[in-house]
Amino acid sequence: MLEHYEDALEQWIATVVSHGDDDALFACGYLQGHVAVVLSQLEALGETSLDALMLKMADCLALARQELNDADYALVEQAWSQLHANIVSPLATA
């Protein structure tokens, strides 16, 4: 399952790099780092569930809320919403 999350991340990044503006690229880069850390943590724990991913990402977004100004946080939150949809959508049809 972690491979699915990584694939969704890579596909999303490719789309943002190809079609995104500067704001989207910033949010993508910021979020990419957090997702990579979360996936590494999940792998170390032997945890692959979507719920575990969502919980860890909620922690990351809480940290982002503290680190970023309101405008940048809104960009990251929107980027997470897009990435989340890319992760969840194929799982709903499986």
Q: What is the pLDDT of residues 54-93, one digit of tens each?
A: 999 999 999 999 999 999 999 999 999 999 999 888 766 6
Distance CA 77, CA 75 (A): 5
Whole-structure pTM value: 0.88
Burial (CB count <10 Å: 0-12, 13-18, 19+), residue 92: exposed
The number of distinct structural domains making up the chain is: 1
Return the axis-axis angle of helices 70-93 and 22-45, rounded to nearest 10°.
Answer: 60
Distance of CA 79 to the CA centre of its chain: 7
The per-residue pLDDT for range 19-55, each reduced to its tens digit, is 999 999 999 999 999 999 999 999 999 999 999 999 9
Range of the domain at 79: 2-93
